Structure 1
Amino acid sequence: MNSTVEVRQIKTIEELKQVQQLEKAVWGDPAIPIHQTLTAVKNGGIVVGAYEKNQLVGFSYGFPGFVNGKPYLCSHMLGIDENYRGQGIGEFLKKEQKNAAIEMGYDLLTWTYDPLESVNAFLNLTKLKAICSTYVKNCYGEMKDGLNQGLPSDRFQVEWWITNPYIEEKHQDDLAAIERVPYVQTADGLPQLAEVDPSSFFNSEALLIPVSNQFQQMKKDYPELALDWRLKTRELFESLFANGFTAVRVVKTADEPVHYYLLKKRDLLPVERRPFK
């Protein structure tokens, strides 16, 4: 991360006004009202900001959630100024959010992201070591902002077990020995997920599932192919999650037009389960 960027918690009205302005710049109107974010901060929520020379360039916003008799922090938004993306700020925001959450007594954070956005997937699962076994179909309905327009807003809902040693451990796997869901190439040389029967993978101990490594560009230039990826991966992930699998990390490739999700059986992981459905 840029050494001139400072990450700290946000608690005042003036700071939250800056968050609101950055939110508008990233997603457009309407932004979350300040009276709501302020109330959340005063009642178990956490807002963290990244600053360069007192200018807010990134933020994360989370509020308390509750399921199965236990609390968790719902990390609802992470936004970064477009001029500061790709500098590792998102990872540092999440880690500062984690530290603040542990101090407040949380052991679990959860948030959603588009499973076909491989950059976000790599941060969430590989770097932070969150996991996912919850697929939410069309989570937010039709979204018309520049990042989400044109596709059903399907999401992974991840679990980040912030006090579990699992997130600090190094995880090694013999990827060459793990079965891969196949993809093909279109006439334009773009990747397309092959037609597969999800049940044929139910007895596997681990599985690699490809996703395009240029999905935003695909959405703009080849929307029908992007929709094909959405619908095929939806069926695959929903079926595999329902049959005991969990996405544990993303494997980048240097010589393929895809990256891969690594899925393992949930009961092999040293974490508890708090279902969100």
Structure 2
Amino acid sequence: MPNSLEPHPVAAQARQAAEDAARTAGVTVVDEHDLEKQRDIDALLVQIWGTSPQGSPVPFDILRAISHAGCNITAAYRPDGTLCGAAVAIVTPGSTATYSLIAGVAPGTGDRGVGFALKQHQRAWSLERGIDTMTWTFDPLVSRNARFNLAKLGAHVSEYTRNFYGLMEDEINAGDESDRLTAVWPLATRTAVDCSEGRPRAVELPDLADAAVLGTGPDGEPHLLGHGETLWVRAPRDIVSLRAQDPALASAWRMALRNVLEPAFASGRVADGVTRTGWYRLSPTLVENTVAAAQGLVTHA
């Protein structure tokens, strides 16, 4: 095991929330150590992301090494035993943070809660090992993922990295640059507990009549708004389809978000929510309860 810390006080709440999420999604979520089933995970990741010149997103031999090192490989199975989702996370010895390498669900499985169940399992796995933070990167243009990460899970972002992986040639990224946001998910805050129990962050775009339009997007519609001390910036609704249909327009959206998010984070702002229509909320500071479980959150266990 790569971590010898004592379980976090909120670990029991996390485990119950993970079990509830799996039950709601109609799946069984487990730590997967079996060799052949890890081959199935490799195949599923290829099914989701396609392949690049380097091959699978996380090849089978890497999965085996991660498993052998005592890190996390999570798998979700339907009642008939079919693999329908997987997530992989690593942690270094003595660390209090887990790094999630990849998480995805089988095509046609979206909106069934499987992805949420995978992440709640990872949360419980981490807290049971005394790890209270998880980080990962994601594409700022994929607004659906951004909302899941920031509103439904309770993560936040204050770091933007240009071309994190270099040019990506898998089927989803379609040759686009790989700008990434770094999600930071505090696993034991009041926000994390509320989200795990089905109470996501409330993120509502202000009435446009009450907001100042500070910029327009590549589609000519309002893209950047100011409302009080808060900024709001819009991502496209479906960047994956847009990349296939109009790569030049997709690249224009990349630059539009880059030109807002980089300076916003440099000035100390934090992205702490995304609306259903793809608007990031950029708050002056992160406002939430970050008190650890030992100071009250264990009442949810």
TM-score by structure 2 length?
0.75
Distance in 2 (alpha carbons) for counterparts of 1:174 and 1:3: 26
Query: Shift of the alpha carbon at 1:192?
Result: 7.5
Query: Shift of the alpha carbon at 1:178?
Result: 5.9
Distance in 1 (alpha carbons) for counterparts of 2:42 and 2:241: 28
Aligned ranges 1:75-154 → 2 under 5 Å: 75-154=100-179
Match of 2:191 in 1: 166
Tell me if structure 1 keeps the 8 A contact 2:87–2:103: yes
1:239-268 Cα shifts (integer Å, max 9, x gaps): 000110010011124xxxxx2101112354
Look up the equivalent residue of 1:75 and give its one-letter code: S
Query: Shift of the alpha carbon at 1:71?
Result: 3.4
User: Secondary structure of 1:82's match?
Assistant: coil
Structure number with the bigger relative contact order (C-alpha 8 A, sep ≥ 6) is 2
User: Secondary structure of 2:167's match?
Assistant: coil
User: Is 1:261 aligned to residue 262 of structure 2?
Assistant: no
Distance in 2 (alpha carbons) for counterparts of 1:6 and 1:72: 25
Distance in 1 (alpha carbons) for counterparts of 2:92 and 2:114: 25
1:109-143 Cα shifts (integer Å, max 9, x gaps): 01111111011011111100110001111011111
Query: Shift of the alpha carbon at 1:5?
Result: 2.3
1:141-187 Cα shifts (integer Å, max 9, x gaps): 1111111013211111100000122323465577426655443574x
State the superposition RMSD in angstroms.
2.8
Look up the equivalent residue of 1:223 and give its one-letter code: P
Change (3 A) 1:241 1:204: farther
Tell me if structure 2 keeps the 8 A contact 1:126–1:248: yes
User: Which piece of structure 1 moves more, 172-181 or 14-23?
Assistant: 172-181
Distance in 1 (alpha carbons) for counterparts of 2:213 and 2:232: 5
User: Secondary structure of 2:108's match?
Assistant: helix
Match of 2:216 in 1: 183
User: Secondary structure of 1:212's match?
Assistant: coil
Tell me if structure 1 keeps the 8 A contact 2:74–2:118: yes
User: Secondary structure of 1:41's match?
Assistant: helix
Look up the equivalent residue of 2:67 and give its one-letter code: V
Tell me if structure 2 keeps the 8 A contact 1:7–1:92: yes
Match of 1:249 in 2: 273
1:74-101 Cα shifts (integer Å, max 9, x gaps): 1111122113233221111111111111
Give the alignment partner of residue 57 of structure 1, picking from 79, 84, 95.
84
Change (3 A) 1:262 1:181: farther
User: Is 1:25 aligned to residue 47 of structure 2?
Assistant: yes
Match of 1:220 in 2: 244
Query: Shift of the alpha carbon at 1:39?
Result: 3.0
Give the alignment partner of residue 33 of structure 2, picking from 3, 8, 11.
11
Distance in 2 (alpha carbons) for counterparts of 1:17 and 1:140: 24
Distance in 2 (alpha carbons) for counterparts of 1:267 and 1:40: 33
Query: Shift of the alpha carbon at 1:107?
Result: 0.5
Pairs aligned (count): 256
Match of 1:275 in 2: none
Distance in 2 (alpha carbons) for counterparts of 1:268 and 1:85: 30
User: Is 1:211 aligned to residue 235 of structure 2?
Assistant: yes
Distance in 1 (alpha carbons) for counterparts of 2:26 and 2:287: 41
Match of 2:295 in 1: none
Change (3 A) 1:246 1:44: farther
Structure 1: stretches of 5+ with no match in the other structure: 254-258, 273-277
Tell me if structure 2 keeps the 8 A contact 1:179–1:208: no
Percent identity, aligned pairs only, is 27
User: Secondary structure of 2:97's match?
Assistant: strand
Distance in 2 (alpha carbons) for counterparts of 1:3 and 1:233: 33
Structure 2: stretches of 5+ with no match in the other structure: 1-21, 292-301
